[in-house]
Amino acid sequence: MPKEMKRREFLEKSMAGSAGIIAGASGILVPSCKSPNERIVLALIGAGSRGRQTIISCCRGNENVSVKTVCDVNDLNSARTADAIEKELGYKPGVTRYMKEVFDDRDVNAVWISTPDHWHALATVWACQAGKDVYVEKCPSHSVWEGRKMMEAARKYRRIVQVGYQNRSGSYNFAARDYIASGKLGQVVHIRIYNLLNGKKWVPQPEAAVPATLDWDAWLGPAPYRAFTPDKISGWLYYYDYCPGILDDASHQLDLVRMVMGDPGHPVSVYGQGRNHVWESEQPTPELQSVTYDFEKFTVTCDSGNVTNYMSKTPEEIRMDPGRFPAWETNADRIEIYGTLGMMFLGRQGGGWQVYGPGEKVDAQSGGIHSDREHQVNFIESVRNRKRPNSPIDNAHKSAVLVHLANIACRTGNRQLVFDGEKERFVGNEEANKLLKDICRGNYMIPEKV
């Protein structure tokens, strides 16, 4: 089949043309669930390992929740996930390559979006227009402009949009926020975020034939057209076209810092530096990045990369044991919060927190466990009661902006940029402002008016 005909067939079957979007949005919205006993029907969009694991966990952790459809442009992912759901939950969902089939299905109350990042915003907007609530993984947007459109769609269509910043459902993080707010740490003057992971030299792979089990054009979606290489599927984290790089992982800590600091607005400036000067690989995103944010009353630094093989994330057995804490010195994703009276070590997604005063004395501490399950429960509760979820898109947007600011500073020459938080634009730098919005392919563009 000619490439253009294949593309046109996909666009007809997916929610691609604006007329199709309007038609879906102009119909009667899926009714909100009014009873705590009413069944919630989910559809999974993006059926890789993360989506597979979390949607099964959500169904296990909540009563009367089921998965009707698995949607992925990679047939192998769909088949694996459908088989896993049958094995773990006792029934086999339907599968499809086409999001439009999900959005047109009135049985589906909410969608679970676990695609690569470049599809998050468009899939969320389409879902809201179709009357579906949304759980979308981090980083929620691929650009600052996309995040605003996600907020506008959630507001306009009165949809619940929960972002996968799971730390916001962890009770130990609420305790950390309360401790800081109490003044016991003194005035917070500086925060250090670490996301120092292990890795190796990135080697690009040659072009290859597109597998028959994959719709490559649909996988690319809003991103620029590129020739197929297998590493784009397995290693999309390393391509700016699909992801903000390793800072995508660090966005968990950036969001957690915002949470425990009372959710401040945007920083007034950012300095970003990133290079491939360790492995000297050809990967498009930096091997190592250092970022500084100025929040006026305090500063935040974030060091992120994949070159420190002696560092490790908090082990799973500690993440799930509130009585144990990580070895902070070599903890790859820790946060250090410096106050005038003490310093807090804070772990993400389990690990708890400890406050140290003079003489290496532990002044206070709270254990914590990974809050994936709690976050999933919170989403289902919000779908039922229509209350604001723990990580709504308007708040998560501000955390995602930190990621985008850092990358823009790096991509425009490793410089400091002044940011106008009200307008969400850089001051006096049009080169940087051009990177606030992606240039998306025709039928995959989010419209100005969602």
Q: Is the pLDDT of residue 406 over 70?
A: yes
Residue with tokens 């500690």: 318
Q: Please confirm whether the linkage preceding 139 is cis (ω < 30° from 0).
A: yes
Q: Of 430, 403, 396, 443, whose CA–CA distance to 142 is shortest?
A: 403
What is the per-residue pLDDT across 280-311, written as a single tens digit (0 to 9) for each?
999 999 999 999 999 999 999 999 999 999 99
The CA R_g of the chain, rounded to the nearest whole Å, is: 22
d(C-alpha 388, C-alpha 405), whole Å: 27
Contact 281, 199 (CB under 8 A): no
Region 1-19: mean pLDDT is 39
Please give the pLDDT value at position 6: 42
Q: Name the percent of the chain in helix, strand, coil, to the closest 5.
A: 40, 20, 40
CA atoms of 232 and 370, how far apart (whole Å): 29
Helix (H) or strand (E) holding 385: helix 372-385
- pLDDT reported for residue 35: 52
Task: Kindly state the tokens that stand for 33.
Answer: 């669930």
CA dist 185 and 219 (Å) reads: 47
What structural domains does the chain harbor? 3-167+374-392 (3.40.50.720)
Question: What's the mean per-residue pLDDT of the chain?
Answer: 92
Strands 133-136 and 161-163: parallel
- Percentage of the chain exceeding pLDDT 90: 90
